A and B are shown apart, each in its own frame.
Chain A
Amino acid sequence: MTPLLEIRDYTLDFQTRAGPFRALDGVSLAVAPGEVLGLVGESGSGKTTLAMAVMRHLAGNARERGGSIRFDGRELIGIAPAEVRALRGRRIGMVFQNPATSLNPTLTLGRQITEVLERHRGLSPRAAATEAVDWLGRVELRNPAALMRRDPHQLSGGEKQRVVIAATFAVHPDLILFDEPTTALDVITGARILELFRRLRAETGVTGLYISHDLAVVSRIADRVAVLRHGRLLEQAPAATLFHAPQNDYTRRLIASVPKPEHRLVQDTPGAEKILEADHLGVAYWRPRLFGRQIFVGVHDVTLDVRAGEILGVVGESGSGKSTIARALTGLAHATGEIRLDGALVGRMGRAYRRAVQIIFQHPDSSLNPRQRIGEILARPLRLYGGSPREIPDLLAQVHLPAEYAHRWPHQLSGGEKQRVAIARAFAARPRLVICDEITAALDVSVQAAVIELLLDLRRQHGTAYLFITHDLNLVRQIAHRLAVMQHGELVDLLGIDDLGSGRENAYTRALMEASPAPVG
């Protein structure tokens, strides 16, 4: 069968001040009609650039250096702008990564669907509206007729993504490009969107190019998978083949770094001694109002403890209150209830407490002061907790960074390196407990794996306990001894890792587990 989309030896450069940067290097791939091809790569691999090349939507500094992109037998490189517009949306649709920003905030949802129906299917406004309502129903949105008049900001992320999907499918395109459509969504929501896509694919038989950094997701959806790295296509194979018998070294490493819950990285059992206890912890976020007070609840009545050397995982959807616990335990949020360190009640968090309990934040870009060199950043806690700046090289060595990094500025470091500095900063205090607040969420899978390895390494050396906050259930199942599950600001479950899947867990915990993408392999 002739491929619907066929890319051959496609090479593309970006002109930069430092000279040309090769974004895509001799990429060749093909998608047959009715097939879904998964395109996997980490950030900077060129996967989105490839999608944009197909859509003929390239940045002004892009230079195509050779190769061809053929769609339905026609060469796309060099076609007229009018023809491009006839292809876009009509024959090649696209679903974007972030539904919050890909919908126009000032147009009603209805208008954003009907405008493409009117343009591409030539429907009258009335017919387009009928069709749009129909499609909103087909993507399982409730009360479609009312939704037509709503604005994007009134919908949740998952609902918005359904609207985008409806608008894309409604035109009946031949090919749909999916650019990380679930990445910005919660685990459970993402899983439901994948479910929807599978159903629609079965109904319409659409051809797809599914781009993702998440091997687990791709493994669920794609017939074949291609792996992209630094602009080069490393490997292309049917999904099962690729995951079970990867040919390429990088693919192999990539697959290895995907968290697999069964593959425990921590074998020891922690002691029974409780380092930190939180009793009936509550945080109420409130904003002052002119009349009375409007109170927003952060977390409510959370009781948990962390034992010496233990890794306690805290999971939950965004907004469930996970991070609020971290803020309460480090004094960043005013909390009610009691906190005990080594059994002693903590009133004002003094130096001893601060030293014992350290925190690492989610965003490597904002957790290091951009106006301080790495050396200064590390020297401060050393001085504060009785160390000496002479220990900086050792600290850097512990997190596998060269000593000369002390003289660098944060912006000269990569995301993974910055997070290592943040880890070094926490360990400068020689803490007994480190709170890790979604510290790998912003990192690529392979970098994430390295950071986890580093943390476990440090734990082996210092016997540090972790309160590990994450939304990635698969990851936490690899390392945690116990699991705390948060929902709507409340602790709904606190159980040993072995109890997962034993039936003793909470219903919500079970839903969370089921929604987590099935691991590869």
Chain B
Amino acid sequence: MISRRQIFAGAAVLGAASLVPGLGQAQPAPRRGGVLRISVDQAAGVLNPLLTRVNPEYLVAELLYSGLTRLRADMTAEPDLAESWTSTPDLAEWTFKLRAGLVFHDGTPCTSRDVAASFTAMLDPKTASAARTNIGPIAEVSAPDAQTVVFKLKGGYADLPVALAYTNAKIIPEKIAAGDMSVLSRSAIGTGPFKLVSFEPERQIVVARNEHYWDPARPHVDRVEVLVYPDPAAEASALIAGDTDLMASAQPSEFPRLASASGVKALRVPSGQFLNINMACDLKPFDDVRVRRALALTVDREAMVGFAAQGFGTPGNDTPLSPAYHFYQQAPLLKRNIPDAKRFLAEAGYPNGLDLTLVASDTPSTRTQLGVAVREMAKEAGFRIQVQTMPHATYLAQVWTKGNFYVGFYNMQASADAIFSLLYTSNAAWPETRWKNPDFDKLIGEARVTADEARRRDIYGQAQALMREGVPSVIPVFFDLLAAQRPYVQGYQLNPRGAVFSLDKLWLGEGAPKRR
């Protein structure tokens, strides 16, 4: 039994730590002013924060909007619009207190009514927001007074503060949330650290300091220009040439060049981003666990880090939790073992091998790299795999969550529960493998209502063991997140989650170019 006070205290302490950047290290005080140019590798087409889907859009939404909480680099929640929160002991009802004096960009105050309306909109299937399935089992949101928001859940959920930091869980004015949301596709009315100046989705998005941001100390820079570079080589060149200050993400192929370029600081952080080979556990031949294990045994995971991630990653052990997750359980790495693989395959009734078609979407291209490498590695054990690449749009429409053998790609999630219930529980939001394991479901459900850290670690450890056993998907490699910046950019921390940027916390130090 854990008291609400304890949880509240924990959150508050961590929140305070992050408010003072570089606490414990001797870092120069943030400088105010300047223009930051950050490059992204894809257009940020969607401006409505409830509907954003890709990292550049998350980045822009984060500049313009705030949520109740924010995700730190260690995957804990820090206060954002909410300054504190408490829960009932069964973790089924949570109360969030808002900061005082919040205002939207248009000058109207931001109250709990706006928050409640925003969440109601997110949960409405008609809005089609990804937040609906990612912010926890919320049953009802209410606003008893102007500063208080109460979440009633369908069951206990320990990770709610982290879940509410979800990329799409941004607060918008009530009149928009309850009315016509299309206005948000052209303009931005949020409570974020910046206001929208110009929006050209394929070229650049410019934002300028929000003078009425709740934290008077931030943002440090006056203006952020988000520049779109569809070509990764060109994006790297632009940073090397000094046209940009920061690259939100870098391709492994460009990373060595960036690392060796003068005037560029390469950034790298281990992450839980992974590629996997999804197998339909309800269809032949993958309904037989021996076939799945046979495939898992053919993969040389150390080599795969080289092939798929150019060495910038860590080997995976067929669970979606990497060492970057809080509840990661260490286990010996599965070794490539062709005789065993052959034996499993023969036992499953395929002594002469198996013909399979592995579908890989064309974005990101590492999906294909992984597919081709798996094909070659599995050849020896008798898997005759044909790799079929298709445009992402076609893949989404025809293969994703429907196909029986395809390559998946996921960003790191904020919590173990988020990734497990996204992909692997029986009622997963995205039932890719249709792996129905009641024991596993029970464990995940139990962890949700458990507040005790050690107990949760134990439960999640058992769940990971079940996955290594059952192999609903082969997860051979986790990617490191790569980025690069000019050395004068200070206070930027690469977040392993991949979709969190916190650009309001960085500043431009000595040597930054003067830009108007």
Taking the complex as a whole, does A directly touch B, i.e. does some CB pair lie under 8 Å apart?
no
Tell me the A residues contacting B by CB distance below 8 Å. Answer: none
Tell me the B residues contacting A by CB distance below 8 Å. Answer: none
